[in-house]
């Protein structure tokens, strides 16, 4: 009952409920401030937020109940897989909406006509054609003289991407810390420690970033970028020395995603609210507000490509399974930020000749440094027979990869991959080499205690042509 997973879920429930409670108090103390229409608007918004928190508190309890009903029964993997599917689907959908909007608005900002036949009050305008219609957009220098009846905001994409992302992190990693977060060969920690490191990274990472943004550093763009990048590499280095490579990557991604969502929630939306309030009151608008919000939004724009890589990285054990996985993550971050920079400059009509070649060379370099080293002259070693390999696969892999798995969490063969017969083994030689010999990312969390000698033997057998006799 008092496992790390349960304590975590119950804490989530309590925290969410507390936030909802505080929000309900806020609504009742709003009364005296503004005029009736604004009051109603504020009420509606806080109520909405309260309901979202209540919904997620409710969800935490549902997961808690489901988890405790199915844990260690034959249906755990089945139920968790469906939860995973639904939440991932939602997460990807919200993420596409968010990043799509982010790309679109940065494109807009970069491509505005800022000089040709502009009215005085405009910063720029833009014509576009899409879906069979012409669109004409104008950007104001500051607030328009009269605020429109309906103003569209873009924030729920960000909030829901983060919330579903956190839920997914919970379902896949925190609720299954033993299998997905802990690698005894990296460090033998308890699930509680692993979850603590995960949560601590998100909170500490956001705080450090936010302090950097509020310091004088924000005015020195290049230095900010260099320090920011160094900190990302440091986070990856730190995490990869405590957690499995896969979890370390995912947490760096979750940290970057948290920074992006935090920027929206704590800075961009509040500044926009202040802008709207100033405009409504007919007061001059503080131009700094828009500027700082704009900077955070630009940071988000640069962070997107590295985050997207991390989110797909669990398909690529060559990256997270490498001994220098933190450096590979650093390299990919650098290359993808260069690509984004190229796109941004290109949209502004500026030249950035060396950005794409730089990114290409960086990625080529990664391809080369991650190349597996051929086992030393396997041809000269005594021949390894299949009869030596099959027992290894049987004891180390078929606990999960079988038509009838005996593992406590994997109740169906992962990715449909089974090693029950020699033909099935033969069919997956290439991936066995990658996962069990080169990247050592299988058996998962080395749950079946394969030895380095056995890995080597499999490697030699494959190098000698994987003969089946
Ligand atoms: C404790 C359970 C478990 C054990 C034991 C295990 N695996 Fe896996 N395996 C998984 C899971 C879960 C996945 C899917 C997630 C992933 O790809 O990391 C998987 C996926 C795979 C894949 C498909 C993904 C790909 O990269 O092509 C291969 C191949 C594989 N394992 C090989 C092996 C080999 C070889 C062994 C034994 C040396 C082994 N596994 C032992 C759980 C296990």
Task: Please write the tens of the pLDDT for every residue from 30-50.
Answer: 665 556 777 777 788 888 888
Q: Which helix (H) or strand (E) holds 145?
A: none
Q: How many other C-beta atoms are found inside a 10 Å radius of the C-beta of residue 364?
A: 11
Res 82: pLDDT: 85
pLDDT band at 223 (very low <50, low <70, confident <90, very high): very high
- Residues 173 and 322: their CA atoms lie apart, in Å, by 20
Res 176: pLDDT: 84
Instruction: Indicate if ligand 1 lies below 6 Å from the C-beta of 299.
Output: no
Q: What is the pLDDT of residues 313-332, one digit of tens each?
A: 989 989 998 889 999 999 99
What residues form DSSP beta bridges with 137?
126
In the chain, how long is the greatest CA-to-CA distance? 87
Atom of ligand 1 nearest to the CA of 179: 1
Q: Which two tokens stand for residue 417?
A: 């991959």
Do the beta carbons of residue 208 and residue 228 sit within 8 Å? no
- Residues 310 and 320: their CA atoms lie apart, in Å, by 10
Atom of ligand 1 nearest to the CA of 405: 2
Q: How many other C-beta atoms are found inside a 10 Å radius of the C-beta of residue 168?
A: 21
Asked which of 36-40, 82-86, 217-221, 245-249 is least confident by mean pLDDT, the reply is: 36-40
Q: How many other C-beta atoms are found inside a 10 Å radius of the C-beta of residue 91?
A: 22
pLDDT band at 379 (very low <50, low <70, confident <90, very high): confident
Q: Which two tokens stand for residue 371?
A: 């190349």
Res 194: pLDDT: 95
User: Which of 191, 192, 176 is CA-nearest to residue 81?
Assistant: 176
pTM over 0.85: no
Instruction: Indicate if ligand 1 lies below 6 Å from the C-beta of 399.
Output: yes
User: Checking phi first, is residue 72 left (phi over 0); if not, alpha (psi -120 to 50) or beta?
Assistant: left
Where in 300-341 does DSSP place strands (E)? none
Could you tell me the sign of the dihedral formed by the alpha carbons of 354, 357, 362, 368, in that order?
negative
Res 72: pLDDT: 67
- Residues 461 and 451: their CA atoms lie apart, in Å, by 16
Mutate which of 246, 441, 442, 466 to test ligand 1's pocket (most atoms within 8 Å of Cβ)? 442
Q: Which two tokens stand for residue 204?
A: 């500490």
Instruction: Indicate if ligand 1 lies below 6 Å from the C-beta of 17.
Output: no
Average pLDDT, the chain: 90
Res 80: pLDDT: 79
- Residues 442 and 414: their CA atoms lie apart, in Å, by 12
Q: What is the pLDDT of residues 90-148, one digit of tens each?
A: 999 999 999 999 889 989 998 999 999 999 999 999 999 999 999 999 999 888 888 88
What residues form DSSP beta bridges with 150?
none
Q: Which of 298-307, 410-419, 460-469 has the highest mean pLDDT?
A: 298-307
Geometric angle at alpha carbon 256, from 254 and 258, rounded to 5°: 65
Instruction: Indicate if ligand 1 lies below 6 Å from the C-beta of 172.
Output: no
Count of alpha carbons within 13 Å of 278, Cβ hemisphere only?
Answer: 16
Res 179: pLDDT: 84
170 CA distance to ligand 1 middle (Å): 21
425 CA distance to ligand 1 middle (Å): 12
Atom of ligand 1 nearest to the CA of 441: 18
Instruction: Indicate if ligand 1 lies below 6 Å from the C-beta of 411.
Output: no
Burial class (CB in 10 A: 0-12, 13-18, 19+), 264: buried
What residues form DSSP beta bridges with 139?
124
Q: Which two tokens stand for residue 316?
A: 């690529």
Residue 209 has pLDDT above 90, yes or no: yes
Mutate which of 171, 431, 443 to test ligand 1's pocket (most atoms within 8 Å of Cβ)? 443
What residues form DSSP beta bridges with 136?
127
Q: Whose alpha carbon is nearest atom 15 of ligand 1?
A: 414
What residues form DSSP beta bridges with 201?
none
Burial class (CB in 10 A: 0-12, 13-18, 19+), 437: buried
Q: How many other C-beta atoms are found inside a 10 Å radius of the C-beta of residue 295?
A: 18
What residues form DSSP beta bridges with 124?
139
Instruction: Indicate if ligand 1 lies below 6 Å from the C-beta of 432.
Output: yes
Do the beta carbons of residue 202 and residue 258 sit within 8 Å? yes
What residues form DSSP beta bridges with 135?
128
Res 442: pLDDT: 93
Do the beta carbons of residue 265 and residue 154 sit within 8 Å? no
State percent of the chain over pLDDT 70.
96
Res 445: pLDDT: 82
Res 375: pLDDT: 64
Asked which of 87-91, 134-138, 305-309, 413-417 is least confident by mean pLDDT, the reply is: 413-417
Q: What is the pLDDT of residues 443-460, one digit of tens each?
A: 988 889 899 899 999 999
406 CA distance to ligand 1 middle (Å): 14
For every residue of 289-355, DSSP letters joined together read HHHHHHHHHHHHHHHHHHHHHHHHGGG-HHHHTSTTHHHHHHHHHHHHHHHHHHHHHHHTT---TTH
Burial class (CB in 10 A: 0-12, 13-18, 19+), 254: buried
């Amino acid at each position: 009952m008092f496992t790390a997973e349960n304590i975590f879920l119950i804490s989530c429930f309590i925290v969410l409920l507390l936030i909802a409670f505080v929000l309900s108090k806020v609504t009742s103390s709003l009364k005296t401030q503004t005029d009736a229409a604004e009051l109603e608007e504020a009420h509606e918004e806080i109520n909405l937020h309260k309901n979202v928190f209540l919904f997620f508190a409710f969800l935490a309890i549902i997961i808690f109940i489901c988890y405790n009903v199915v844990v260690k029964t034959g249906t755990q993997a089945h139920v968790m897989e469906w939860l995973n599917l639904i939440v991932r689907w939602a997460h990807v959908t919200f993420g596409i909406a968010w990043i799509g909007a982010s790309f679109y608005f940065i494109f807009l900002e970069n491509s505005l006509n800022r000089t040709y036949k502009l009215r005085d009050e405009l910063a720029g305008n833009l014509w576009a054609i899409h879906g069979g219609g012409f669109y004409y957009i104008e950007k104001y220098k500051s607030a328009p003289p009269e605020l429109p009846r309906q103003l569209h905001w873009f924030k729920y994409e960000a909030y829901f991407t983060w919330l579903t992302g956190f839920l997914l992190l919970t379902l896949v990693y925190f609720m299954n810390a033993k299998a997905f977060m802990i690698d005894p060969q990296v460090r033998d920690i308890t699930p509680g420690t692993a979850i603590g490191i995960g949560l601590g990274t998100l909170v500490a990472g956001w705080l450090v970033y936010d302090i950097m943004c509020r310091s004088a550093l924000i005015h020195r763009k290049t230095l900010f970028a260099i320090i920011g990048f160094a900190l990302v590499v440091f986070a990856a280095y730190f995490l990869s020395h405590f957690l499995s490579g896969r979890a370390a990557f995912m947490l760096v991604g979750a940290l970057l995603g948290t920074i992006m969502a935090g920027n929206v929630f704590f800075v961009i939306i509040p500044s926009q609210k202040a802008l709207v309030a100033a405009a409504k009151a007919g007061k001059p608008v503080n131009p700094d507000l828009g500027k700082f919000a704009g900077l955070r939004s630009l940071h988000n724009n640069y962070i997107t490509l590295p985050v997207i890589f991390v989110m797909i990285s669990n398909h690529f054990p060559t990256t997270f399974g490498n001994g220098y996985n933190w450096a590979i993550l650093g390299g990919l971050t650098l290359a993808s930020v260069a690509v984004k920079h190229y796109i941004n400059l290109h949209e502004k009509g500026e030249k950035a000749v060396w950005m794409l070649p730089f990114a290409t060379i960086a990625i080529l370099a990664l391809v080369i440094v991650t190349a597996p080293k051929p086992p030393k002259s396997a041809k000269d070693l005594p021949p390894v027979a299949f009869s030596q390999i099959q027992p290894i696969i049987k004891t180390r892999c078929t606990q999960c990869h079988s038509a009838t798995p005996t593992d406590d969490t994997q109740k169906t063969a992962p990715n449909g991959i089974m090693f029950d017969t020699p033909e099935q083994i033969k069919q997956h030689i290439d991936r066995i080499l990658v996962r069990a010999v080169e990247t050592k990312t299988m058996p998962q969390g080395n749950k079946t205690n394969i030895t380095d000698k056995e890995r080597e033997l499999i490697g030699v057998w494959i190098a000698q042509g994987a003969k089946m006799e």
